[in-house]
Amino acid sequence: MNRKNLPNKPGDTDMKTILAALIATAILSPAAHAAGKDGSFEVASLQSSTAKTGWLQVLSEGKPAKAKTAQKNNVNLSPIQRELVAFNENVAPGTIIVDNSDRRLYHVLGNGVAMRYGVSVGRDGFIWTGTNTVSRKAEWPTWNPPEQMRAREAKKGHILPVSVKGGIDNPLGARAMYLGSTIYRIHGTNQPSSIGKAMSSGCIRMANEDVAHLYANVTIGTKVIVRD
């Protein structure tokens, strides 16, 4: 797959009551204009487990929108579909919240909604909490494994390179958003099977399709909250 042609479509909900907010935020955002070729767009409620109803279905008076099934074995796709959800916490629009326990990332859009993504968080001994800001963004970033990581992996018989150029085989994936002056990032991955699990060395992993979607809507200085 051409790394420059990552799919970029929003996720799902069944809440007609937030349609106005959806139009005011997500549809008018840059990400909405960069949606998939079929224009598919759906939303989903945090409080509901009922069958999902896309906004196209709402606007077409109940006619179901055609669903797309994720392609298996595609390194760019997440096993957990991103969704537009009801989100009423008192935080500023644009804020990113990572829930370690749920292994979900919320990008707060305002007007009571947020985009929710599946992520991989730190495994035992590497999980962390705190507040920071996005200090740098990079497309197809170079990976420079920290010296501590290289030493740790060497003890296991895994020799890590000093540097790995950006590309589909790079562990940082398609995009990276660096958090302050820390070693942590929100980044893509070439291991989408880790999404929804605690498997990283502290960074927040996203599938390439999802990290590209988030990256397009995040600016330098964006507040990031990582919590249990």
Catalytic residues: 187, 203
Dig out the tokens for 131 from the structure: 């507040």
Query: Rounded to whole angstroms, how far apart are CA atoms 204 and 18?
Result: 28
Among 43, 58, 36, smallest CA distance to 13 is for 43
Q: Are 209 and 7 in contact (CB under 8 A)?
A: yes
DSSP letter, residue 25: I
108: β partners: 114
Q: Are 119 and 211 in contact (CB under 8 A)?
A: no
Amino acid in the structure at residue 118: G
Among 79, 51, 99, smallest CA distance to 224 is for 99
